[in-house]
Structure 1
Amino acid sequence: MSERFSRYSKSIIQERALPDIRDGLKPVQRRILYAMNKDGNTYDKGFRKSAKSVGNVMGNYHPHGDSSIYEALVRMSQDWKLREPLIEMHGNNGSMDGDPAAAMRYTEARLSKIASEMIRDIDKDTVDWVPNFDDTEQEPTVLPSRFPNLLVNGATGISAGYATEIPPHNLSEVIDALIYLQKKPDADLDELMKFIKGPDFPVGGIIQGLDGIKKAYKTGRGKIVIRSKTSTENLRGNKSLIRVTEVPYDVNKLQMVKQIDEIRISKKIDGIAEVRDESDRNGLSIAIELKKDVDVKGILNYLFKNTDLQVNYHFNVVAINNMRPERLPLKTILKSYLEYQRAVITKRTKFELDNVMNRQHIVNGLIKALSILNKVIKTIRASKNRKDACRNLVKEYEFSNKQADAIVKLQLYRLTNTDVTELEAENDKLSQNIIKYNNILNDDKVLNNVLTKEFKQIQKDYGNSRRTKIENQVQELKISKNITVPDEDVVVLVSHDGYLKRSSVRSYKASDVNENGLKEDDYPIFTAEMSTLDHIFMFTNKGHLIYRPVHEISDAKWKETGEHISQTIGLDDDEQIIKIFTFKSLKENGCFLIATNDGYIKQTEFSKLLPGRTYRSHAPVYEKLKTSDARVVNIKYINNNNKENKVVLMSNIGLATKFELSEVSINGAKTTGVKSMDLHDDEYVANCQLINDSDDVAIITQRGFYKNMSVEDIPLASRGRRGVQVLKPLKKNAHKIMDFIRLIPNENDFKPIRIFTDRHRYHDIIPSDHPINDRQSNGSALIDTSSEGKPLKMKVINAELLSDK
């Protein structure tokens, strides 16, 4: 198997998929051109059915499928694929939209005029020949290729272990470089690039990245950016229109228009009103109509970055050189082509010299015969037949066999004095040609002059101006969020069970607040009116941070459920979102205060929690928990406007401690922090609050007792202390703190507190309806735990929307 696959690989590398460095053709292309030329299907004659050409190629030279031969023939006729098409075609030969060509029975084809330069001199022993697949005919191993087709038309192909991607170039530029390299064989790449500026694509466009071009010409590999040619037109009503007149090479125009239209439909950017393909016989034209007063440059940059209006092109210059696949720098290609053309001219000159010398030999014989005409006629008349006449002439007058044969064939009207004069003139001309041909063969300088003259003639006949513009630098595409996301006011909801959605304000106001689409035992933990340009940070109790730009949250009607966070990010079954913050930008300078139930606390800078590249599918860690049972109990955001400078923690057994915020060190995201409270076995931190001395706190116990207490009753201590008792100790069925929250005097007095229970029930109270108790009090009974369930946590709520700022 190894041996057979090696043979197969060698076959498709050398004889199918890669072009030859000399003529820039793959075998199927070479066979098509040769077969059409042999059949007389050339540019100066009428078109013939493509099926006839395909049949000739398949039957005589290329024993493969007719579809592959026809596809190769069609590609050589497509003026948006080849810089100088080698085939002319009547009928549908495909389109830039990816449409296939019509069947070969409908189309007609012939060689283009420039293709004749590929074939020219093939009948003068300029190339090597081999038998075809069934040994019935001879076929050329390479075409004379009188212009540098490999660079001019480029190539693309995939074989076993090798691929090639060579862009088209400008014929005039390449010929100028060849002529210069002839004069200065030691020219370096910079000198050659004064002539060959870079690729020249048939569809035009703009190339960015001179360094990429230079690297590709130096090593055979490199990357450039190809950008569409665009212009802006002003329409009535302050509207604008982006007009695309040239697109990148090898881009499917239809797919590109679809990409732009999908962006318009999905509203990935705000401002595109309509996309139209207005291309016709006069040329390519795509109209992107924009809405009133939009950022045209911003939208164009977005389209460049996210559609085929701009693409990367990767050079991979691989061709067959001396029967081997090689990655080739520019100078190697030019030198190899020059050497090949010198060889072609040398072989052609030898062929012509032989012909001229043979003809002169005949002419000398005829002149000699006419000088002794009577004797020659007498000898011929005395001969028995033609063969005997030739033999007698050779014997009696020392003619050669070729001369004698020519004399015998001489027609009577040639036996005039005029004809002798013509023969002598022809002999003089032949002598001059012999001298000329010998000079070419014996003097490299003369040979180079011949080659230069022929190059210049091809340049004159077929050269044209550059179509692709080259820019030195690749432009950095900066995209404003104002372009990509329309600034709209929406209402965002996050539920206890992990459902997210954003609804339009209109949908929210048109519905009952409680008709939020959530399951019966689920409830909102966050509801806020926000902008689509805002950012939302969701912190879980297991130390994971979920980030979402508001515009990426699933858009749904207020009565719909929305998407579950597990659809994109996998969380544990017992993991819950406990705190949510919203921000206008990701350039905040604040810190997060993070506390855990096992007695650790830290501050982490906002900049340390910025979303990474994989934020959509991966929730990064913001708190490294010491044990599997540990949980985060609270997160607070601290910015420059923050006036709270004290931290209060309470443990489940009713102990509370208070210390300065400055005692909490700033740590990274994947750290645990420092000791916040001294805990014993089976003790845990119920909650942590950031407060001022003038604040009050509200406490709820597992027995449903509620208590308001002044923070001043908790003495200031150092971080890591055990704390003081804030509940009255009982010997039997002692109270335990489930949660406590901060109350701001004169601000929270009339805002209700919502108490959530383990039966998915909630109980709303007004704090000002309850007195301030001393530190040794257990408060008053509020919730009937037997009917409503055990209290779990508390939240201050607004009348309409609940928000953590």
Structure 2
Amino acid sequence: MSKPAPKSLEVFMMEEIKRSISEELVESYMNYSMSVIIGRAIPDVRDGLKPVQRRILFSMKELNLKNSGPTKKSARIVGEVMGKYHPHGDMAIYDAIVRLAQDFTMRYPLVQGQGNFGSIDRDPAAASRYTEAKLSKLAEEMLEDIDENTVDMVPNFDETLNEPVVLPSKIPQLLLNGASGIAVGMATSIPPHNIGELADLIVKFIDDPQMDDEKVAGLLKGPDFPTGGIIMDSESIKNIYLTGRGSLIVRSRTSIEEIKNRNRIVVTEIPYGVSKATLIEEIADYAKNAKETLISDIRDESDKDGLRIVIEVSRNADPNIVLNRLLKHTSLETHFAVHMLVIDHGKPKLMNLKQIIKAFVDHRYEVVKRRSQFEFERFSKRAHVVEGLIKASMAIGTVVDIVKNAKDLGDAIDGLMKVLGVSKEQADAIMDMKLQRLTTLEHQKLDEEYRTLTQDMSKLRELLGADEKIMEEIKKETLYIKEKYGDKRRSEIAQNTESINIEDLITDDDMVVTITRNGYVSSTKLENYKMQNRGGKGNISMRTREDDYIEHAFVTTRLSYTGFITNLGKFYFMKNYNFQESEKGTKGKLILNYFNLSPNEKVKSIISIGHNLDSSKDLWIATKKGKIKRMSLGNFSFRFNGVNALKLEDEDEVVDTALTDTKDKNIIVLSTMKGFVSSFKDEDVRQMGKNAMGIKGIKLQSGDEVVSMIVVKESEIEDIQLLTISEKGLGKRSRFSDYAVHRRGARGLRNLKLTGKNGFVVGTVKVVESDEIIAVTASGKAIRFKVSDLSITSRNTQGFRCIDVDEDDKVVTFAPLRGIDS
């Protein structure tokens, strides 16, 4: 037979609990979560402190580290906190002390540090054995009256000492310095505020506690960060105060300085929580990786007088554009997420501004009431003792006789109680009374003290009997805090609720956009091109290599879109201010810096889209083999890799593009290399999808190909002329009405008689009398002349010399500068 199990084992087996492991895990995890939430990461709504912060301040008070006294080693403070109240890692405690002392972390530091407590560059603080600390004056205000039974005290972790559940806190610390913390499954992030503005809000709330959430939210201007900066979206602030959550855009304070014809951006304030050193690295990385040279140098000129970061802008770059790009791509502008999660009555709760203010006022009401009750009881006890001392001083002879004839202390006390009619406490005080209290002067002092005590008791009795009196006391203390510690706001609240639009900072100047055969894009102000007469030699428009020349020139504005159609049928577009502005005569930047073109891809046409991507416009594409395609501009969206606009046949490529308005009736004109022009109505071509190949637009002769396409509105036929220019500078202007409109796919009409010495046709554009033309040669020369310099001739004539081209040079492109868009 097996032996019976021991009694202890039987008891253990009887206490065994059968439970699902999932239930046990859920309960254990929830207990752990609540322990982290309440015991470490989330602040109490009343004093706005996390447990470690509260224990640090309380321990420093116990060590008598007053602001008026000397500092003590931080290691000593850490040991006090860890050994008595906070049994966690010493580094966690020291890190909390360091944050409480940093003026760039705390709007109003609660610890006054001595030594290296870190920097805004995220330099770490020195070890705790090297630094010293004491309470700040404001922290003493939080601890004042803690010994007057104003808050509950609970046993510490080993139940050998008592610690406060919450500090009395005269100041609304939760909103004053803000809070941040990550717990299990939840987090808090509360911005700091200005002490004067908070004090005013509390006073107004006490005067009208029934005001609604919206009114309370409207009374507080907004957060006030220790590092300053500009809060951009003032409308979001009110919504955050109403809901307890949201996001703020915080922007650095910057200015643009001009020194010796060079611009620099100077940063004097940065967003809260941003490391200055990290920010400088971000700006340097952006400048290094940017596709265009925007920044030539960056320096940190910060000193004891304040923060100063200097960003030297490249000579040809617009400082406003550079600044806005830095705001977009670096921490010069950040988002501060707000989530006002707090501990309220032992539970985590998301609160709005009114709820937080009400919780603080309720806390102060409780503190003032308990303090008043404590003082009343203390004054009452003292008055009772003083009353006995007065009786004794008036019958000093009797007191001496009683004491003299008593057998011991107890007998003397009994005698005093029977003869003088005093209480035990009064008799004890009489026995402790010094002989000096028997003098007439001391008797008068006792009378004065008694009168003062009775007056104070009367005031306290009146205070405890009326809530209004308590609220007035809270107001008085709040205004005292404002007067003593109030300072100017550091963060600016922007009046504009939206971020600055980069285009608001850019003037819509006329620009000439050019692109070379090798793909160099240049953007130059139109005013840089001087007017010349017909037949002039021209001047250097862009310095190119021997194997490069300008293929396209276009007049547009800085705020307009420019579209680029490549030979492979891809469509790219960009706002013109994104192109680096170049001085006249420079080659610009390679287009690969702006778009991701493939190795065998080159731009064949550039068009001015205007200020908006309007879906009511149609994009027309013509190919070398005479194909034509029409599609809605609304089909396109910006992509770095471009959008496929046309499916091409073998050995075909795009030669030109145009835009039309869907409400207009238009004539499409295709011009060929051998001097033919074919015209047809736009209604002959339907809209197609992006993958369509297009349809035949013109019937070409052997060896001929399309070189250009233009669009003429039916309403302007009588006003328009066609200007055709050949490779050797031959130009001819004819009335468009001389050209008959045929069906799509026709061969067309002879436009320009060509000879071997005049070369092939470069292109045909539409013009009016007041237009000007800019023509560019392969060597990079450009000439600008008036259309009126060329006489109007019949359709099938040779034309006039409009630009004097060197023997080894040729015209590669030309464009009208003003008038009707081509």
TM-score, length basis structure 1: 0.71
- Does 1:450 pair with 2:473? yes
Q: 1:702 — aligned with what?
A: none
Matches within 5 A, 1:752-771: none
Structure 2 counterpart SS, 1:20: coil
Q: Aligned to 1:83, which of 107, 119, 122?
A: 107
Matches within 5 A, 1:276-315: 276-292=299-315, 295-315=318-338
Structure 2 counterpart SS, 1:231: strand
Structure 2 counterpart SS, 1:133: coil
- Does 1:363 pair with 2:399? no
Structure 1 counterpart SS, 2:296: strand
Q: 1:592 — aligned with what?
A: 620
Q: 1:268 to 1:119 in 2, by over 3 A?
A: farther
User: C-alpha separation between the residues in 2 aligned to 1:293 and 1:631?
Assistant: 42
Matches within 5 A, 1:524-535: none
| Cα deviation code 1:324-355 (max 9, x no counterpart) | 22222211111111111111000000101111
User: C-alpha separation between the residues in 1 aligned to 2:300 and 2:257?
Assistant: 16
Q: 1:425 to 1:303 in 2, by over 3 A?
A: same
| 457-466 or 468-477, which deviates more | 468-477
User: C-alpha separation between the residues in 1 aligned to 2:196 and 2:593?
Assistant: 62
User: C-alpha separation between the residues in 1 aligned to 2:668 and 2:448?
Assistant: 116
- The amino acid that maps onto 1:283 is G
| Cα deviation code 1:762-801 (max 9, x no counterpart) | xxxxxxxxxxxxxxxxxxxxxxxxxxxxxxxxxxxx9999
Q: Aligned to 1:204, which of 221, 228, 235?
A: 228
User: C-alpha separation between the residues in 2 aligned to 1:748 and 1:230?
Assistant: 62
Cα displacement (A) at 1:357: 0.8
Q: 1:164 — aligned with what?
A: 188
Q: Aligned to 2:658, which of 639, 643, 663?
A: 639
User: C-alpha separation between the residues in 2 aligned to 1:669 and 1:18?
Assistant: 57
Q: 2:257 — aligned with what?
A: 233
Percent identity reads: 34
User: C-alpha separation between the residues in 1 aligned to 2:165 and 2:349?
Assistant: 18
| 281-290 or 171-180, which deviates more | 281-290
Q: Aligned to 2:545, which of 495, 504, 509?
A: 509
| Cα deviation code 1:228-279 (max 9, x no counterpart) | 22233332x3223333222222221122222333344445555533222111
- Whether the 8 Å contact between 1:645 and 1:691 is mirrored in structure 2 is no
- Whether the 8 Å contact between 2:567 and 2:653 is mirrored in structure 1 is no
Matches within 5 A, 1:654-733: 662=682, 664-670=684-690, 672=692, 690-691=697-698, 695-697=701-703
- Whether the 8 Å contact between 2:621 and 2:658 is mirrored in structure 1 is no
User: C-alpha separation between the residues in 1 aligned to 2:258 and 2:602?
Assistant: 49
| Cα deviation code 1:552-596 (max 9, x no counterpart) | 99xxxxxxx99999x989x9xxxx978853426554966334899
Q: 1:660 to 1:535 in 2, by over 3 A?
A: closer
- Whether the 8 Å contact between 2:566 and 2:654 is mirrored in structure 1 is no
| Cα deviation code 1:660-681 (max 9, x no counterpart) | 674653325457588x6xxxxx
Matches within 5 A, 1:259-408: 259-268=282-291, 270-292=293-315, 295-395=318-418, 397-408=420-431
Structure 2 counterpart SS, 1:315: strand
- The amino acid that maps onto 1:468 is S
User: C-alpha separation between the residues in 2 aligned to 1:54 and 1:241?
Assistant: 46
Q: 1:214 — aligned with what?
A: 238
Q: 2:169 — aligned with what?
A: 145
Structure 2 counterpart SS, 1:616: coil
Structure 2 counterpart SS, 1:509: coil
Q: Aligned to 1:436, which of 449, 456, 459?
A: 459
- Whether the 8 Å contact between 1:602 and 1:673 is mirrored in structure 2 is yes
Structure 2 counterpart SS, 1:639: strand
| 257-266 or 325-334, which deviates more | 257-266
- Whether the 8 Å contact between 1:539 and 1:546 is mirrored in structure 2 is no
- Whether the 8 Å contact between 2:202 and 2:361 is mirrored in structure 1 is yes
User: C-alpha separation between the residues in 2 aligned to 1:142 and 1:717?
Assistant: 91
Q: 1:731 — aligned with what?
A: none
Cα displacement (A) at 1:134: 1.3
Matches within 5 A, 1:20-31: 20-31=44-55
Cα displacement (A) at 1:194: 6.3
Q: 1:603 — aligned with what?
A: 630
| 91-100 or 407-416, which deviates more | 407-416
| Cα deviation code 1:419-475 (max 9, x no counterpart) | 222222211111111111111100122222222221222111111122222222124
Q: 2:151 — aligned with what?
A: 127
Cα displacement (A) at 1:294: 5.3
- Whether the 8 Å contact between 1:43 and 1:112 is mirrored in structure 2 is yes
Q: Aligned to 2:97, which of 65, 73, 77?
A: 73
User: C-alpha separation between the residues in 2 aligned to 1:83 and 1:408?
Assistant: 54
- The amino acid that maps onto 1:45 is G
- Whether the 8 Å contact between 1:493 and 1:528 is mirrored in structure 2 is no
User: C-alpha separation between the residues in 2 aligned to 1:239 and 1:594?
Assistant: 45
User: C-alpha separation between the residues in 1 aligned to 2:647 and 2:182?
Assistant: 50
Cα displacement (A) at 1:16: 1.1
Matches within 5 A, 1:174-189: 174-188=198-212
Cα displacement (A) at 1:217: 1.1
- Does 1:62 pair with 2:86? yes
| Cα deviation code 1:53-86 (max 9, x no counterpart) | 1111111111111111111111111111211111
Q: Aligned to 2:59, which of 7, 17, 35?
A: 35
| 366-375 or 278-287, which deviates more | 366-375
User: C-alpha separation between the residues in 1 aligned to 2:325 and 2:135?
Assistant: 43
- The amino acid that maps onto 1:666 is R
TM-score, length basis structure 2: 0.69
Cα displacement (A) at 1:292: 4.7
| 123-132 or 462-471, which deviates more | 462-471
- Whether the 8 Å contact between 1:169 and 1:200 is mirrored in structure 2 is yes
Q: 1:680 — aligned with what?
A: none
Q: Aligned to 2:116, which of 70, 92, 100?
A: 92
Cα displacement (A) at 1:408: 1.9
- The amino acid that maps onto 1:226 is V
| Cα deviation code 1:123-163 (max 9, x no counterpart) | 00011111111111111111011111111111111112222
User: C-alpha separation between the residues in 2 aligned to 1:596 and 1:489?
Assistant: 21
Q: 1:770 — aligned with what?
A: none
Cα displacement (A) at 1:193: 5.6
- Whether the 8 Å contact between 1:578 and 1:634 is mirrored in structure 2 is no
- Whether the 8 Å contact between 1:592 and 1:635 is mirrored in structure 2 is no
- Whether the 8 Å contact between 1:22 and 1:336 is mirrored in structure 2 is yes
Structure 2 counterpart SS, 1:186: coil
Cα displacement (A) at 1:289: 3.0
- Whether the 8 Å contact between 1:696 and 1:745 is mirrored in structure 2 is no
- Whether the 8 Å contact between 1:603 and 1:664 is mirrored in structure 2 is no
Structure 2 counterpart SS, 1:114: helix
For structure 1, the 5+ residue unaligned runs are 495-499, 514-525, 554-560, 649-657, 677-687, 700-715, 725-741, 753-797
- Does 1:104 pair with 2:123? no
- Does 1:417 pair with 2:424? no
Cα displacement (A) at 1:413: 2.6
- Whether the 8 Å contact between 1:529 and 1:801 is mirrored in structure 2 is no
Structure 1 counterpart SS, 2:101: coil
Q: 1:623 to 1:804 in 2, by over 3 A?
A: farther
User: C-alpha separation between the residues in 2 aligned to 1:469 and 1:266?
Assistant: 32
- The amino acid that maps onto 2:105 is K
